Amino acid sequence: MNKIAWSKDLTVGVAEIDEQHRQWIQRLNDVASAIAAHQGPVQLGQTLAFLVDYTQQHFATEEKLMAAAKYPGLKTQLAQHQELTETLKDLVRDFDEEGATTKLAETVNTYLGNWLLTHIREQDLQFGKFLKSKPA
């Protein structure tokens, strides 16, 4: 199982966002651990639900901050956030129907981790740069 680690290069420079990204990585790792430990469906379902809730909370925070700053990249952010929201919905539905399958484990371990790191590096960091370049 590949645990994702927080690293300095993921720092956006907005305390609220950075703290949420740490928590978000933690929650994703929790789901990966729960799958690896073959936790029962109730516990795994709960851990998965925590991740989904937290993701929604995080996206809402970012979108609010971006809209307030009139960030020109907001549209791209919204589209990518929407895409992941759909993926998570599918994941939860598959889990409810089929339990912890290999496909679920793969999606969590590979797809979600890559998505999250790529999105932070390629999208969220841009927002940090934009804020820094904005005249106060």
The residue ranges that bind Fe ion (CB under 5 A) are 62, 77, 124
Residues 6+ apart with CB under 8 A from 114: none
Instruction: Write down the least CB distance from residue 42 to Fe ion, Å.
Output: 29
Residue number of the CB closest to Fe ion reads 124
Instruction: Write down the least CB distance from residue 52 to Fe ion, Å.
Output: 15
DSSP single-letter state for residue 8: G
Q: Centre a 10 Å sphere on the Cβ of residue 65 and count the other Cβ atoms it contains.
A: 16
Instruction: Write down the least CB distance from residue 123 to Fe ion, Å.
Output: 5
C-beta closer to Fe ion: residue 99 or 111: 111
C-beta closer to Fe ion: residue 27 or 44: 27
C-beta closer to Fe ion: residue 77 or 107: 77
Amino acid occupying residue 47: T
Cβ atoms of 51 and 28 within 8 Å: the answer is: yes
